[in-house]
Amino acid sequence: MSLNKISVDDIDVKGKRVLCRCDFNVPLKEGKITDENRLVAALPTIKKLIADGGKVILCSHLGKPKGEPKPELSLAPVAKRLSELLGQEVKFAADPEVVGPNAKAAVEAIKDGEVILLENTRYRAEETKNGEAFSKDLASLCDIFVNDAFGTAHRAHCSNVGVSELVDTAAVGYLMQKEIDFLGNAVENPVRPFVAILGGAKVADKLNVISNLLEKCDTLIIGGGMAYTFLKAQGYEIGKSLVDDTKVDYCKEMLAKAEKLGKKLLLPVDSATITEFPNPIDAPVDVVIYDVKDMPADREGCDIGPKTAEMFADAVKSAKTVVWNGPMGVFENPTLAKGTIAVAKALAETDATTIIGGGDSAAAVNQLGFGDKMSHISTGGGASLEFLEGKELPGVAAATDK
Ligand code: ATP
């Protein structure tokens, strides 16, 4: 799928002030970045802007400061780590107003090929409301805008959508292009067989994704907590497993839709069950495996069982394109992570194009050390899900057409 938007390859940034919206929303623990994938993923665009002699002004949000300065959510640690990754200084424009006197002075002083990072855009209350005042502030800092923040593309905020509408040129960066290429091609133009795997806690979170993917894929695999509402819809006892009773009819509709379209919909045939949910989540648990037809009423299914893991892995083996979103069980607990690991391993071992849709599944794949075995790991959980639903992402739509 090619994106019909102006990209960083189409613009001349020499001597120009370029505001580049990145997704530096990284997990922090005591001021230390615990997962820097999003920083690494942003480097190609930043390097290109530096090499072309732009005056590079980076911005991003981090966490949810709710419209006011929160020192623990400052982007200062990101500036430090980015300087190391780029091998050149990224000057941090500390400023409680984000675009206040300090930031303006830093932009005034910047030379071609230099880089500054603004403070967390969500320090400003207007940001998440796409308010005009902050969009204007951001636009006043630059000659050209580049949006490379795929992880925020499903939101219409000042720093992606508002500012795009106020500048002459709003281009997309390499990461944005790569995300749309991988996810777009997988859904709209997949090499078949195309297998989609969905897991995670709730059916309700992924209603439109299930429906849209059923139309596009050849096989839809459903595991994780969300599988139990489907099993209930098929008439099975699911004991104390996670269920959404308001969505049982929806699951029946999806089962009928799969049959009508001639698509395979694979559900668990066995479950790893427990009696008490672990607290803390990684506490030891006693697991008994039951076939889904034999599940006792006092048990809770917290992972797919070994037969299911094998069946899902077999489906992956015969695929040419695989998209995966959501863990197969309570993977935070080592005893209940087996199903998620088996699926991750199957993806790591196939030659098919493998795409991980961000969020928990991306974290699981990286933690298990399979990260470099996947064709693409999305940097945006929510954004990739909305894309898989077939929705237009406002952050992409706002960029200038070719
Ligand atoms: P994100 O929204 O970050 O992309 P995700 O889509 O990968 O996340 P979620 O829907 O947030 O996934 O669900 C992940 C959670 O689901 C995990 O915390 C996991 O423990 C839980 N989960 C998975 N299977 C079960 C189950 N059978 N019973 C209870 N909880 C489960």
Residue 2 has pLDDT above 70, yes or no: no
For residue 366, what pLDDT is reported?
A: 87
Residue 358 has pLDDT above 80, yes or no: no
Residue whose Cα lies nearest atom 6 of ligand 1: it is: 326
For residue 1, what pLDDT is reported?
A: 61
pLDDT single digits (tens) 117-129: 999 999 999 999 9
Structure-token match 């050209």, residue found:
144
pLDDT single digits (tens) 76-90: 999 999 999 999 999
Ligand 1 centroid to 161 CA: how many Å?
Answer: 30
Ligand 1 centroid to 375 CA: how many Å?
Answer: 23
Pocket test for ligand 1, best of 205, 285, 360 (most atoms within 8 A of CB): 360
Residue 368 has pLDDT above 90, yes or no: no
Q: Which of 91, 95, 164, 156 minimizes the C-alpha distance to 123?
A: 95
Atom of ligand 1 nearest to the CA of 277: 29
C-beta 389 within 6 A of ligand 1? no
C-beta 302 within 6 A of ligand 1? yes
223 is catalytic: no
Cα–Cα–Cα angle for 300, 326, 315, nearest 5°?
90
Strands lying side by side in the sheet with 115-118: 90-93, 115-118, 55-59, 17-21, 144-147, 170-172
Catalytic residue among 38, 48, 124, 216: 38
Q: Mean pLDDT in the chain? A: 96
Structure-token match 């505001």, residue found:
19
Catalytic residue among 200, 223, 239, 359: 359
Ligand 1 centroid to 276 CA: how many Å?
Answer: 17
* % of the chain surpassing 70 pLDDT: 100
Cα–Cα–Cα angle for 232, 233, 234, nearest 5°?
85
pLDDT single digits (tens) 202-226: 889 898 999 999 999 999 999 999 9
* Helix/strand/coil for 198: strand
User: What backbone phi and psi angles, to 5 degrees, belong to 354?
Assistant: -120, 125
Question: Residue 359 — pLDDT band, cuts 50, 70, 90?
Answer: confident
Catalytic residue among 81, 202, 263, 345: 202
Residue whose Cα lies nearest atom 4 of ligand 1: it is: 359
For residue 3, what pLDDT is reported?
A: 82
Q: Report the C-alpha gap between 11 and 171 in whole angstroms.
A: 8
359 is catalytic: yes
- Type and span of the H or E element at 382: helix 381-388
pLDDT single digits (tens) 238-275: 999 999 999 999 999 999 999 999 999 999 999 999 99
For residue 95, what pLDDT is reported?
A: 98
Ligand 1 centroid to 332 CA: how many Å?
Answer: 9
Q: Which of 321, 292, 317, 319 minimizes the C-alpha distance to 305?
A: 292
C-beta 361 within 6 A of ligand 1? yes
C-beta 205 within 6 A of ligand 1? yes
Residue 191 has pLDDT above 70, yes or no: yes
| Mean pLDDT on 4-15 | 97
Pocket test for ligand 1, best of 35, 330, 341, 388 (most atoms within 8 A of CB): 330
Q: Report the C-alpha gap between 86 and 65 in whole angstroms.
A: 27
Tokens of 262: 């001639």
Q: At what angle do helices 359-367 and 338-349 cross, to 10 degrees?
A: 80
Tokens of 256: 């009928």
Distance of CA 97 to the CA centre of its chain: 28
Ligand 1 centroid to 327 CA: how many Å?
Answer: 6
For residue 309, what pLDDT is reported?
A: 98
C-beta 239 within 6 A of ligand 1? no
Residue whose Cα lies nearest atom 10 of ligand 1: it is: 200
pLDDT single digits (tens) 335-354: 999 999 999 999 999 999 99
124 is catalytic: no
Structure-token match 């930031």, residue found:
103
For residue 260, what pLDDT is reported?
A: 98
pLDDT single digits (tens) 10-67: 999 999 999 999 999 999 988 899 889 999 999 999 999 999 999 999 999 999 999 9
Cα–Cα–Cα angle for 9, 358, 244, nearest 5°?
140
Ligand 1 centroid to 328 CA: how many Å?
Answer: 8
For residue 205, what pLDDT is reported?
A: 86
Structure-token match 């506490």, residue found:
283
Q: Which pTM does this prediction carry?
A: 0.90
Higher pLDDT, 196 or 382: 196
Tokens of 348: 């790591």
What's the per-residue H, E or C state across 339-357?
Answer: HHHHHHHHHHHCCCEEEEC
Residue whose Cα lies nearest atom 12 of ligand 1: it is: 200
For residue 381, what pLDDT is reported?
A: 87
Ligand 1 centroid to 84 CA: how many Å?
Answer: 34
C-beta 151 within 6 A of ligand 1? no
